[in-house]
Structure 1
């Protein structure tokens, strides 16, 4: 997980340096600082194992040997105190050796999620098992699934809501300044061009898939020169095609859509539609088979926010 996260962050750093949004120097510094300070946390349990840590952690609670209701009240009071105590400390942020409890029931705790106030991407341990993740899988399947999921969550830090929070998880005027910039707004309008359940989830899908793709193949690869033959029964597919098929397979099912997300088929179709390489990877013909002008016009129709356009 750490390796996948590091690769994704490195690719996004290349996006930032290309400066597609034409950000000012101080705005670029704001984005760089946030990206570099972002943390990955596996599981939601303390890393501390010493009895001294737990004695100090629960010092303020007055637990009883026989009164369950009182103990519950004490635990809730302690949690509330610990969640608000950092407000008294300048430039405080989540201490990653401690666990974090969130009362937001709209978020699925079994799937990875990003916390704006802590600039932290959390991956529940239950998620790290077959068929979602297995270290024996070929990297192309790991990157197309887990790379997309982590890329999706990383991207939440830089969509229209996440950008408002700085590297320490505090709301910042600089984030509002970036959000109101012309090119940022143009990207929002492009992504909002078709119906959606949540614009920020749409943006995370678009950027997350592109980020995972670029992290595996590189920003300047040529699919026509790259061949991949992992298994004999898959010899008909090239690597980029397998990447998309593995990504799409994740959304194959009969479950209802996740709260605040588009239907699964919509998420897949909209995401691949906005990846410029998809048409090349599957050799899709242009609607009009003429000249560079048509190709340039199609390129303008791709909704991308951070990825540099001239690659």
Structure 2
């Protein structure tokens, strides 16, 4: 059979070229729509599987307690898992993320690449840091020296009367209070009775000025303890025993006769004196009342209007000032403008000093020095304070020597250690992303000004100018990478690896003189106010700048690889917090140049104070079971609470703008939480932490920050977007009936 044509009746009709084109176009359109739908569905359900995302998810989930309703107690929901798994170490009074990151920082600083690394050729400043560290960890030599380093230098400050014989004959005849407390100030960084310092003039941020202030710190922390009754009685007994045991140990090492009755009598007099000094301090005038503190006058007015007298000896303010400033070759005339922060304190101090002898005063001022110097002595000396620290803070044991030493070197040679830390652990990629986030959050802050019905247009313009003028510092100063700069910074320091105590004394004098000699210098607003190896962030009202050291630019606060929801909930909240410090109840009194100057209209400032009182009242209603049901002091923590509440609001708004620009982020693995929810979760987990009962009490009495749990609960109760993210109804504990909102 041969092949033949297909019958006509069976042939398919042919399509024209136009019809073919139309079909192709329709098919392509359908394909595009399908692909787009698939891509949209895929994107919305995409899971981020990078190492950063996986680690972030694991960290977040591991700290949570998902059995808790987030609308009932978001802190417990966020941190319940962490609280169950973490016990406060014996070396800590409280424990949380900051402590964990600090411990990791200590490991970095100790490592073979930093303080323990031997380098043949390096900047002299870096070698000095390593020498100081080596002297600190040399326990064998420190134990061999015992208390001798302290005993040898006590004559330089007219001795400790209860720890020597014949004090009146050997020292009392030439003793002047001005001489003693001046030397303790400039040489040993110990501020007793009179807090004298040189700092930026609040009224002129380009200049430095001398400040006279009331005594700021005490052995028993706050005035409540000096009642020595109830819950404070044990702390008082431990404090007196610390002083008694130390005086007794010194007398023993000196081979002197010991009369416990006599020592106890002197100890009692010292505590009575300190109690009276505490009573003379002004508790009503909070440190943030800068306008009331700014009392500018000539030096001669102190002698004229604030006379003090001890055993018929008149205190000469000009002589006292000269004793300090002569050490840096600066002459201070009678006409020198100074700031007297607390005139009422010096009036009351006159009555206090009239009740005591020069021996009492000398016992007290030297005690305030020696009680902190036992840190650098042998174990028998350090042990005299162990019971006191345990009663006061609940800490049972000391930190490992190498940890304590790493922190000590960092606190004294922060630029040198910052250089070593940056070289070892800091990613330069962090700066660019931080700059972008700061820009976003600053814009949100400024944009929100338009929505503030309580603020008039004139004040809004001034607020915007100040916000725009805030300078930012990220990571570290470039100067620390320059050998010449670094060496010059520490050129006056010379350490011995075998003389830890002498190294301590050298640091005290160096640090004090460094600031005293600024009196005649213009303020350098380009100078960094903090080192790089620091787990914290700062705002300075005097120079109107925010600082984010390299140490805090790490997870969970920040990472280039973790989702932006976590970055904004972490370091983003911190950025907003620090910006807002320029507008809290303290920062609001400074203008864009850092001068103590009113830029508010009267009506706007009255409204600001009214709205701020809402926060003070809200936080004062929180009571804390761990502190025996004590209520927080919302006035003491007002600045930080204002900054917390505004910080979380601004960071969230900035994140939502990021999403609008860039689209939703892929979800984290292992959780069905949205990124809005993850934002709040990471914010809360930054504050996961525990306190010992003793530290809880100190926190309420002394800390300007609210305890961590209430930092989370208070700020989120005031933020409706949180309730929306977790579908909380109006009756939920996390929804406030009276929302506080300033910025």
Task: Indicate the residue corresponding to 1:156 in structure 2.
Answer: 581
Task: Indicate the residue corresponding to 2:677 in structure 1.
Answer: 241
Task: Indicate the residue corresponding to 1:111 in structure 2.
Answer: 536
Q: CA deviation at 1:137?
A: 0.8
CA contact 2:441–2:650 (8 Å) conserved in 1: yes
Whole-angstrom CA distance in 2 between matches of 1:178 and 1:150: 29
Whole-angstrom CA distance in 1 between matches of 2:597 and 2:467: 15
1:20 aligns with 2:445: no
Unaligned runs of 5+ in 2: 1-433, 497-502, 621-633
Q: CA deviation at 1:136?
A: 0.9
Q: CA deviation at 1:78?
A: 4.1
CA contact 2:556–2:686 (8 Å) conserved in 1: no
Q: CA deviation at 1:10?
A: 0.6
Find 2:614's aligned residue among 180, 190, 196.
190
Task: Indicate the residue corresponding to 1:265 in structure 2.
Answer: 709
Query: Helix, strand or coil: the match of 2:539?
Result: strand
Give 1:289-308 correspondences, 5 Å limit.
301-306=738-743
Query: Helix, strand or coil: the match of 1:174?
Result: coil
Task: Indicate the residue corresponding to 2:474 in structure 1.
Answer: 42
Whole-angstrom CA distance in 1 between matches of 2:686 and 2:600: 33
CA contact 2:454–2:604 (8 Å) conserved in 1: no
Query: Helix, strand or coil: the match of 2:516?
Result: helix
CA contact 1:227–1:238 (8 Å) conserved in 2: no
Whole-angstrom CA distance in 2 between matches of 1:152 and 1:42: 15
Find 1:281's aligned residue among 721, 725, 728.
725
Normalized per residue, the structure richer in helix is: 2
Q: CA deviation at 1:149?
A: 1.2
Task: Indicate the residue corresponding to 1:82 in structure 2.
Answer: 518
CA contact 1:43–1:125 (8 Å) conserved in 2: yes
Task: Indicate the residue corresponding to 2:529 in structure 1.
Answer: 100
Residues 84, 28 of structure 1: alpha-carbon distance in 2 compared, 3 angstrom cutoff: farther
Whole-angstrom CA distance in 2 between matches of 1:286 and 1:274: 12
Whole-angstrom CA distance in 2 between matches of 1:72 and 1:267: 35
Find 1:146's aligned residue among 571, 576, 579.
571
Unaligned runs of 5+ in 1: 87-92, 103-107, 289-297, 307-311
Residues 52, 215 of structure 1: alpha-carbon distance in 2 compared, 3 angstrom cutoff: same
Residues 241, 81 of structure 1: alpha-carbon distance in 2 compared, 3 angstrom cutoff: same
Q: CA deviation at 1:275?
A: 0.4
CA contact 1:44–1:100 (8 Å) conserved in 2: no
Query: Helix, strand or coil: the match of 2:479?
Result: coil
Q: CA deviation at 1:84?
A: 5.7
Q: CA deviation at 1:51?
A: 7.1
CA RMSD of aligned residues (A): 3.6
Whole-angstrom CA distance in 2 between matches of 1:126 and 1:111: 7
Rg larger in 1 or in 2?
A: 2
Whole-angstrom CA distance in 2 between matches of 1:176 and 1:198: 25
TM-score, normalised to structure 2's length? Answer: 0.33
Give 1:49-60 correspondences, 5 Å limit.
none
Task: Indicate the residue corresponding to 2:435 in structure 1.
Answer: 2
Whole-angstrom CA distance in 2 between matches of 1:122 and 1:3: 15
Q: CA deviation at 1:179?
A: 6.5
Q: CA deviation at 1:50?
A: 5.9
1:206 aligns with 2:645: yes
Q: CA deviation at 1:5?
A: 1.0
Query: Helix, strand or coil: the match of 2:690?
Result: coil
Task: Indicate the residue corresponding to 2:104 in structure 1.
Answer: none
Q: CA deviation at 1:129?
A: 2.5
Whole-angstrom CA distance in 1 between matches of 2:686 and 2:598: 38
Residues 23, 16 of structure 1: alpha-carbon distance in 2 compared, 3 angstrom cutoff: same
CA contact 2:581–2:639 (8 Å) conserved in 1: yes
1:123 aligns with 2:523: no
Residues 65, 237 of structure 1: alpha-carbon distance in 2 compared, 3 angstrom cutoff: closer
Whole-angstrom CA distance in 2 between matches of 1:66 and 1:250: 39
1:32-53 deviation per Cα after TM superposition (whole angstroms, max 9, x unaligned): 1111110111245453766776
1:240-296 deviation per Cα after TM superposition (whole angstroms, max 9, x unaligned): 2111111111111225677321121111111111001122221122349xxxxxxxx
Residues 54, 302 of structure 1: alpha-carbon distance in 2 compared, 3 angstrom cutoff: same
TM-score, normalised to structure 1's length? Answer: 0.74
CA contact 1:252–1:264 (8 Å) conserved in 2: yes
Task: Indicate the residue corresponding to 1:292 in structure 2.
Answer: none
Residues 160, 232 of structure 1: alpha-carbon distance in 2 compared, 3 angstrom cutoff: same
Q: CA deviation at 1:74?
A: 6.3
Whole-angstrom CA distance in 1 between matches of 2:708 and 2:515: 36
